Structure 1
Amino acid sequence: MKADWSTFWPKVVDATGETVYMVLITLALSTVLGLAVGLALYATRKGGVLPNRLVHAVLGTFINVIRPVPFIIAIVALAPVTRAVVGTMIGTDAAVFPMTIVATFGIARIVESNLLSVEPGVIEAARSMGAGPLRILLTVLVPEALGPLVLGLTFMLVALIDFSAVAGTVGGGGVGNLAMTYGYLRFDTSVMVVTVLVLIALVQSAQFLGDRVSRRILRR
């Protein structure tokens, strides 16, 4: 059965809103958590401001285990945990949980790699002025690496749009669910084309916004 576009457009708008909701909530949560994990990973490395081999090894192992897992497998594997935490495995709120878990560790590695690019002399200068480890991390390293960090978060934002589409295929709602339910399962090419165009528009908007913000920061 082909979609009646005179009444189908509201479904497209609602699905797009669900996708934006999933992506923005996940980005906010995973940015806070990923920044914390990334800072801890950087600080505890050998030669860091708070070196701790055990903590660094544990964090690194978690990241290396979770990051390579394809998201479609991660969302299924985390389903029991999602049910325990959220109360359901279906819907946008249920999709946010596994998306946040996966994105957190991706952002943590982005944070670590960008902090490593900061000149060591900046850290030494802060130490010579009496700055403690926490102050160095939050008021020296993060501002110094802010431009590249924004670019890294832009990359993750685009990845989250992809994650949301995958989540939609297993009941997560959003554009992915619309494409699966009304496009793929009903063999409606027009629905598939529209959903792909919506996803492309979201990706282009995210990339444009991230590039603009990072350029403005780097010019300071």
Structure 2
Amino acid sequence: MSLLESIIHILPDLNKAFIETIYMVAVSLAVALLIGLPLGVLLFTTTRNLFFENSVVNRSLGFVVNIVRSIPFIILLVALLPLTDFLTGSTIGPRAASVSLSVSAIPFFARIVESALREIDKGVIEAAIAVGATPWMIIKDVLLPEAKPGIIQGLTLTTISLIGYSAMAGTIGGGGIGDLAIRFGYYRYDNTVMITTIVVLICLVQIIQMLGDKASYLVNKR
């Protein structure tokens, strides 16, 4: 069988695996954005000399975030199997893998948001406080708009990391391109499948990075 024939032969499986990967990444990215963004804002605003200053809350949240971030994803994946089974009714498949991916993405993105907010000139925040802006107004109208380029870059980085993690999830039946590469490429010694999946992942990452850079540039007012 020629190389072209081999690629055509695996196209249906590749298409299914690609859709599963997109599903896993999209779900976990949405959860990271929904929870990680406010968590990152809270980590920033509870630091010293800011309007929600609270060392206990800040250190507690930071401690939990650092614990989750310090656990290798493959170990986290296995450790969360009981929670995954409880939430999804299964421990295999894209939906099940999305649970571990989400838990991993939340602290990762939260730290990126916190870092982006720290880059804002403190004078801008002080000026907003001086004119009587409420904490919510400062967050909504000052912090998030000013940090938008950094947050978009962080979202791009998180997406690319999730693609890599989703491929890792395939090693324990999570589905997606990683699962295809393991089952049809590695176990069957099929180099065509391995090379094809690698090329697909490279192209996907390049496209996401390019779109993220473009979006960050467009919203950057500096």
Q: TM-score, normalised by structure 2?
A: 0.94
**Which residue number corresponds to residue 214 of structure 2?**
212
Moved more, 29-38 or 5-14: 5-14
Match of 1:138 among 117, 137, 140: 140
- Are residues 1:47 and 2:49 paired? yes
Match of 2:13 among 7, 11, 14: 11
TM-superposed CA distance for 1:219, in Å, is 4.5
Whole-angstrom distance in 2 between the partners of 1:14 and 1:51: 48
Whole-angstrom distance in 2 between the partners of 1:20 and 1:195: 14
TM-superposed CA distance for 1:129, in Å, is 1.7
Asked if the contact 2:6–2:192 (Cα under 8 Å) also holds between the matched residues in 1, the reply is: no
TM-superposed CA distance for 1:7, in Å, is 3.3
SS in 1 for 2:70: coil
TM-superposed CA distance for 1:179, in Å, is 0.4
Whole-angstrom distance in 1 between the partners of 2:177 and 2:52: 44
Report the AA paired with residue 30 of structure 2: A
After superposing on structure 2, the runs of 4+ consecutive aligned residues of structure 1 that deviate more than 6 Å are none
- Are residues 1:57 and 2:88 paired? no
Unaligned runs of 5+ in 1: none
Asked if the contact 2:97–2:169 (Cα under 8 Å) also holds between the matched residues in 1, the reply is: yes
Report the AA paired with residue 217 of structure 1: V
Match of 1:156 among 146, 158, 165: 158
**Which residue number corresponds to residue 119 of structure 1?**
121
**Which residue number corresponds to residue 188 of structure 1?**
190
Match of 1:88 among 87, 90, 95: 90
Q: How many residues are treated as equivalent by the alignment?
A: 219
Asked if the contact 2:7–2:193 (Cα under 8 Å) also holds between the matched residues in 1, the reply is: no
Match of 2:71 among 69, 74, 77: 69
TM-superposed CA distance for 1:6, in Å, is 4.0
Deviation per CA, 1:94-123, whole angstroms, max 9, x where unpaired? Answer: 011110111000011001111011111111
Whole-angstrom distance in 1 between the partners of 2:42 and 2:56: 12
Unaligned runs of 5+ in 2: none
Report the AA paired with residue 11 of structure 2: W
SS in 1 for 2:172: coil
Report the AA paired with residue 119 of structure 1: D
Whole-angstrom distance in 1 between the partners of 2:214 and 2:159: 14
Deviation per CA, 1:12-33, whole angstroms, max 9, x where unpaired? Answer: 1111111111111211111121
Report the AA paired with residue 87 of structure 1: G
TM-superposed CA distance for 1:149, in Å, is 1.2
Match of 1:174 among 173, 176, 196: 176
Change (3 A) 1:37 1:4: same
RMSD of the TM alignment (CA)? 1.5
Q: What percentage of residue pairs aligned between the two structures are identical?
A: 43
Whole-angstrom distance in 2 between the partners of 1:31 and 1:202: 20
Report the AA paired with residue 158 of structure 1: I
Whole-angstrom distance in 1 between the partners of 2:139 and 2:209: 27
Deviation per CA, 1:162-181, whole angstroms, max 9, x where unpaired? Answer: 01100111111000000011
Asked if the contact 2:29–2:102 (Cα under 8 Å) also holds between the matched residues in 1, the reply is: yes
Q: TM-score, normalised by structure 1?
A: 0.95
Whole-angstrom distance in 2 between the partners of 1:6 and 1:23: 25
